[in-house]
């Protein structure tokens, strides 16, 4: 392991004895190879050995403004360290922006995240070669710091409803940016409040008196020297949030603010000098930056889930409570089947989500390269799958993190457990980059279209043509994946039937769509789950895995597939043919038995599995999850840091409590 302590909790020590598989093999698998693991470890040593990047006091004890200042200090220091990073700049940046290494230093969100996660990608995806030449080097060198300003006070989801206008003035060859109402103010963009001095701003483009829809504009917001907002720019921070409090989300208004014509990012559409508008090949190309972020969010929430599962699993093997066998020593809480039922499905989910996210990342790269060559064929499938997996990983991830917190009892409720921060991050991903319900409906639109038109991309091929596979109960893994497939197809058909029923009643298509939302969302979720389980099963068929690693991963795969089936059993009842054939009842009896057996089979390997994630204590940032299992001492040490413990009697006693006590005498 990366950290060997002198103390090791005896229960954890026992858990780690006789591990039947090579932990490093799993670590390498998750990192993407032995060399990548070595590179990651080297980078972690480089960053985490720097004393200046350590917190003097826990962040919870700082004011809102001090938290921001402290995190900005560390974020800037990290950028200075980039230059000499042993891992090279790009891998270092990737590690520093997300929930892994970066979160060990910047626990409540990186004030520079949006610059790298959205501003630079927007420039690359939306700017012409000339525009990239003008801005990209400046952005990479941090001569300018940007964000992505799209959401407004009045609209986040419905982009066609955005109110900010950019009106072309051919006389001066400028665009005039304007916020025509309070609800037109940009509201939410990360880093906008205090950090960024530039932004890619999405605004309704008007030229020759006609609105051409939302387009991206490169806009300077603050003076490069003084950092004061430029005249015509109204800017500020929106205040404390449930989590991510050092991402300085902000607001922004425009008062007839002028920018040159060539600051419309013109890779896909242009406005010529005389104001002539040149259309893009596909109007949704201006949404491409969001697609990229949806893809990386899947990876990010998976890393966060891994942290939560590691903390909860180690703690559950250290924690002893109650009585299992009368008269015996109190058992490790992990030995309760109920606790295994809480923790082993999320443990399995970390593998399932990572494998599906890897698949999505590959699709993104292929589709993006094709788009660069003018071939948009993969775009609908990429949009459908990125929406589906972003919504699935973030919603299931947030639920699982909460279960992990609950599994740690009272101590899980402490801020220092790190669950509040992890939850704050994962649940934010349910909302940002497309609110999940809205994304499910986008997925459903793609599924319905595919099923009806019998044409679609690779991820929806199963909806085209006749259903293949066994029609009766088949208890093999393939058989159960087929049940997922039949459910997914069945739910799309149920949704279509519902739409057609409304149509026959004379409802307009948009009303029919609204009235079928419950079915449409269920169909979209079943599709996403099918994709995840298929990726998991297929990944285990290929790959150079040793027999012991294949065995434990297969157990996790089977457990996860059955867990979801049991959890979502209600959905099977929507598919009429399942009930007719009594398939549901028989399947459940068989599966529940197997699920319980799998819990017992995986239980002894739980600590070894989370150890193989190889997450350093600094990244877990929780006394409950440390490698050494010295939970109680560490909780005491954390309590000692409370400002209320710096004196035996707090001054407020004399001010408020003492007079009150006296008055009662």
Ligand X SMILES: Cc1cc2nc3c(=O)[nH]c(=O)nc-3n(C[C@H](O)[C@H](O)[C@H](O)COP(=O)(O)OP(=O)(O)OC[C@H]3O[C@@H](n4cnc5c(N)ncnc54)[C@H](O)[C@@H]3O)c2cc1C
Ligand Y SMILES: CC/C=C\C/C=C\C/C=C\C/C=C\CCC(=O)SCCNC(=O)CCNC(=O)[C@H](O)C(C)(C)COP(=O)(O)OP(=O)(O)OC[C@H]1O[C@@H](n2cnc3c(N)ncnc32)[C@H](O)[C@@H]1OP(=O)(O)O
The binding site for ligand X (CB under 6 A) comprises 114, 148-151, 155-157, 188-190, 244, 249, 428, 431-435, 437-438, 441
Indicate whether 26 belongs to the interface with ligand Y (CB under 6 A). Answer: no
CB closer to ligand Y out of 37 and 442? 442
Q: How far apart are CA 383 and CA 484, in angstroms?
A: 22
Indicate whether 625 belongs to the interface with ligand Y (CB under 6 A). Answer: no
CB closer to ligand X out of 439 and 526? 439
Q: How far apart are CA 404 and CA 307, in angstroms?
A: 10
Q: To the nearest whole angstrom, how small is the minimum distance from the Cβ of residue 168 to ligand Y?
A: 22
Host H or E run for residue 211: strand 210-220
Task: Map the footprint of ligand Y across residues 76-135, applying CB under 6 A.
Answer: 97-98, 113, 117-118
Q: How far apart are CA 286 and CA 265, in angstroms?
A: 9
Helix-helix angle 419-431:379-406, to 10 degrees = 150
Binding letters toward ligand Y, positions 167-206, x by CB under 6 A = -----------------------x----------------
DSSP letters for 584-649: HHHHHHHHHHHHHHHHHHHGGGHHHHHHTT---HHHH--TTT-TT--HHHHHHHHHHT-GGGSSSS
Q: To the nearest whole angstrom, how small is the minimum distance from the Cβ of residue 141 to ligand Y?
A: 20
Instruction: Pick from 3, 45, 157, 514 the residue near ligand Y by CB under 6 A.
Output: 157
Indicate whether 551 belongs to the interface with ligand Y (CB under 6 A). Answer: no
Indicate whether 245 belongs to the interface with ligand Y (CB under 6 A). Answer: no
Is 228 catalytic? The answer is no
Host H or E run for residue 346: helix 337-372
Which of ligand Y, ligand X, none does residue 98 bind to, with CB < 5 to 8 Å depending on kind?
A: ligand Y
Q: To the nearest whole angstrom, how small is the minimum distance from the Cβ of residue 240 to ligand X?
A: 12
415, 492 Cβ separation under 8 angstroms: no
Residue 367 CB partners (closer than 8 Å, separation 6+) = 378, 379, 381, 382
CB closer to ligand Y out of 91 and 479? 91
Indicate whether 388 belongs to the interface with ligand Y (CB under 6 A). Answer: no
Q: How far apart are CA 87 and CA 394, in angstroms?
A: 29
Which of ligand X, ligand Y, none does residue 249 bind to, with CB < 5 to 8 Å depending on kind?
A: ligand X
Indicate whether 524 belongs to the interface with ligand Y (CB under 6 A). Answer: no
CB closer to ligand Y out of 523 and 553? 523
330, 323 Cβ separation under 8 angstroms: yes
Q: To the nearest whole angstrom, how small is the minimum distance from the Cβ of residue 617 to ligand X?
A: 27
CB closer to ligand Y out of 26 and 113? 113
User: Annotated binding residue at 190?
Assistant: yes
144, 136 Cβ separation under 8 angstroms: no
220 strand-pairing partners: 198
Q: Residue length, the chain?
A: 665
Q: To the nearest whole angstrom, how small is the minimum distance from the Cβ of residue 152 to ligand X?
A: 8
DSSP secondary-structure letter at 228? Answer: P
Instruction: Pick from 19, 438, 517, 594 the residue near ligand Y by CB under 6 A.
Output: 438
Give the β-pairing of 198-207 and 165-169: parallel
Which of ligand Y, ligand X, none does residue 284 bind to, with CB < 5 to 8 Å depending on kind?
A: ligand Y
Q: To the nearest whole angstrom, how small is the minimum distance from the Cβ of residue 540 to ligand Y?
A: 27
CB closer to ligand Y out of 146 and 434? 434
Indicate whether 155 belongs to the interface with ligand Y (CB under 6 A). Answer: no
Which of ligand Y, ligand X, none does residue 437 bind to, with CB < 5 to 8 Å depending on kind?
A: ligand X
Does residue 197 sit in helix, strand or coil? Answer: coil
What token pair was written down for 273? 């000098």
Q: How far apart are CA 203 and CA 215, in angstroms?
A: 6
Binding letters toward ligand Y, positions 401-420, x by CB under 6 A = --------------------
- Output the residue with the shortest Cβ distance to ligand X: 156
HSE-CB at 83 with a 13 A cutoff on CA atoms is 5
Give the β-pairing of 198-207 and 186-187: unpaired
Taking CB under 6 A as the binding criterion, the range among 40-48, 292-300, 405-413, 529-537 that sits at the site for ligand Y is 292-300
Q: Measure Cα distances from 47 to 51, 87, 478 in Å.
A: 9, 11, 45
Q: To the nearest whole angstrom, how small is the minimum distance from the Cβ of residue 428 to ligand Y?
A: 7
Indicate whether 284 belongs to the interface with ligand Y (CB under 6 A). Answer: yes
Indicate whether 442 belongs to the interface with ligand Y (CB under 6 A). Answer: yes
Indicate whether 297 belongs to the interface with ligand Y (CB under 6 A). Answer: yes
Does residue 49 sit in helix, strand or coil? Answer: coil
Taking CB under 6 A as the binding criterion, the range among 35-43, 153-161, 221-229, 554-562 that sits at the site for ligand Y is 153-161
CB closer to ligand Y out of 128 and 282? 282
What count of other Cβ atoms lies within 10 Å of the Cβ of residue 509?
10
Sign of CA dihedral 280, 282, 287, 291: negative
Q: How far apart are CA 498 and CA 661, in angstroms?
A: 68
Taking CB under 6 A as the binding criterion, the range among 171-179, 428-436, 513-521, 590-598 that sits at the site for ligand Y is 428-436
Q: How far apart are CA 259 and CA 647, in angstroms?
A: 57
Helix-helix angle 517-541:477-504, to 10 degrees = 160
Q: How many residues touch ligand Y (CB under 6 A)? A: 33
Q: To the nearest whole angstrom, how small is the minimum distance from the Cβ of residue 190 to ligand X?
A: 4
Give the β-pairing of 257-260 and 250-254: unpaired
Which of ligand X, ligand Y, none does residue 264 bind to, with CB < 5 to 8 Å depending on kind?
A: none
Rounded to a whole number of angstroms, the CA Rg of the chain reads 27
Taking CB under 6 A as the binding criterion, the range among 259-267, 340-348, 438-446, 548-556 that sits at the site for ligand Y is 438-446
Q: How far apart are CA 407 and CA 564, in angstroms?
A: 19
CB closer to ligand X out of 273 and 511? 511
Q: How far apart are CA 558 and CA 532, in angstroms?
A: 12
622, 405 Cβ separation under 8 angstroms: no
CB closer to ligand X out of 243 and 275? 243
Indicate whether 371 belongs to the interface with ligand Y (CB under 6 A). Answer: no
DSSP secondary-structure letter at 657? Answer: I
CB closer to ligand Y out of 430 and 587? 430
Instruction: Pick from 21, 68, 119, 148 the residue near ligand Y by CB under 6 A.
Output: 148
483, 575 Cβ separation under 8 angstroms: no
Binding letters toward ligand Y, positions 563-582, x by CB under 6 A = --------------------
Q: Which of 39, 433, 498, 571 is catalytic?
A: 433
Indicate whether 440 belongs to the interface with ligand Y (CB under 6 A). Answer: no
Which residue's entry shows tokens 């060997």? Answer: 4
Indicate whether 354 belongs to the interface with ligand Y (CB under 6 A). Answer: no
- Give the annotated binding-site residues for FAD: 151, 190
- Give the annotated binding-site residues: 151, 190
| Residue positions annotated with a catalytic role | 433
Residues that bind ligand Y in the complex, under the rule CB under 6 A: 97-98, 113, 117-118, 148, 150-151, 156-160, 190, 247, 284, 287, 290-291, 293, 296-297, 300, 379, 383, 432-434, 438, 442, 445-446, 449
């Amino acid at each position: 392991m990366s950290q060997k302590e002198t103390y090791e909790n005896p229960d954890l020590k026992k858990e780690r004895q006789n591990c039947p598989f090579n932990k490093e093999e799993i670590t390498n698998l998750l990192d993407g190879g032995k060399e990548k693991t070595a590179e990651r470890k080297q980078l972690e040593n480089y960053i985490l050995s720097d004393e200046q990047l350590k917190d003097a006091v826990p962040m919870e004890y700082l004011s809102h403004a001090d938290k921001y200042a402290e995190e900005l200090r560390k974020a800037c220091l990290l950028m200075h360290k980039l230059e000499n990073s042993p891992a090279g700049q790009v891998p270092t940046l990737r590690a520093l922006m997300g929930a892994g290494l970066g979160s060990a230093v910047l626990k409540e969100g990186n004030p520079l995240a949006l610059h790298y996660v959205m501003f630079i990608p927007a420039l690359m995806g939306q700017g012409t070669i000339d525009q990239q030449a003008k801005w990209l080097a400046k952005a990479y060198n941090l001569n300018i710091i940007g964000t992505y300003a799209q959401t407004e006070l009045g609209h986040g989801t419905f982009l066609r409803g955005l109110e900010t206008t950019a009106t072309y003035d051919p006389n001066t060859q400028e665009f005039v940016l304007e916020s025509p109402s309070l609800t037109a103010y940009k509201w939410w963009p990360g880093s906008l409040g205090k950090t960024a001095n530039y932004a890619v701003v999405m605004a309704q483009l008007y030229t020759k008196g006609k609105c051409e829809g939302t387009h991206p504009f490169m806009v300077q917001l603050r003076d490069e020297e003084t950092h004061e907002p430029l005249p015509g720019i109204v800017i500020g921070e929106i205040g404390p949030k449930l989590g991510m409090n050092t991402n300085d989300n902000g607001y922004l208004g425009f008062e007839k603010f002028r920018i040159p014509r060539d600051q419309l990012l013109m890779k896909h559409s242009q406005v010529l000098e005389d104001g002539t508008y040149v259309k893009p090949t596909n109007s949704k190309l201006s949404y491409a930056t969001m697609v990229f972020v949806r893809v990386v969010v899947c990876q990010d929430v998976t890393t966060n889930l891994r942290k939560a599962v590691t903390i909860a699993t180690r703690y559950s093997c250290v924690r002893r409570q109650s009585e299992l066998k009368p008269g015996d020593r109190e058992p490790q809480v992990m030995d309760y089947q109920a606790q295994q039922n809480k923790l082993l499905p999320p443990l399995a989910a970390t593998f399932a989500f990572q494998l599906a996210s890897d698949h999505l990342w590959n699709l993104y790269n292929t589709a993006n390269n094709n788009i660069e060559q003018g071939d948009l064929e993969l775009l609908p499938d990429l949009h459908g799958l990125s929406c589906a997996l972003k919504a699935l990983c973030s919603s299931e991830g947030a639920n699982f993190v909460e279960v992990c917190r609950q599994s740690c009892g009272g101590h899980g409720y402490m801020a220092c457990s790190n669950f509040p921060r992890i939850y704050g991050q994962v649940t934010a991903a349910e909302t940002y980059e497309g609110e999940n319900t809205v994304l499910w409906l986008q997925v459903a639109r793609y599924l319905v279209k595919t099923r009806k038109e019998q044409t679609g991309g690779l991820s929806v091929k199963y909806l085209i043509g006749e259903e293949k596979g066994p029609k009766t109960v088949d208890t093999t893994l393939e058989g159960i994946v087929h049940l997922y497939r039949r459910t997914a197809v069945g739910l799309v058909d149920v949704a279509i039937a519902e739409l057609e029923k409304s149509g026959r009643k004379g409802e307009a298509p948009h009303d029919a769509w609204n009235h079928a939302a419950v079915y449409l969302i269920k169909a979209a979720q079943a599709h996403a789950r099918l994709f995840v389980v298929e990726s998991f099963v297929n990944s285990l068929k290929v790959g150079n895995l040793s027999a012991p690693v294949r065995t434990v991963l297969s157990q996790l795969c089977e457990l996860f597939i059955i867990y979801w089936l049991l959890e979502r059993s209600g959905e099977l009842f929507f598919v009429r043919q399942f009930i007719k054939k009594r398939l549901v009842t028989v399947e459940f009896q068989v599966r529940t038995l197997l699920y319980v057996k799998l819990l017992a089979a995986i239980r002894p390997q739980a600590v070894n599995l989370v150890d193989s994630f190889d997450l350093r204590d600094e990244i877990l940032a929780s006394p409950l999850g440390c490698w050494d299992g010295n939970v109680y001492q560490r909780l005491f040490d954390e309590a000692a840091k409370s400002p209320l413990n710096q004196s035996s009697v707090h001054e407020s006693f004399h001010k408020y409590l003492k007079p009150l006590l006296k008055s009662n005498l």
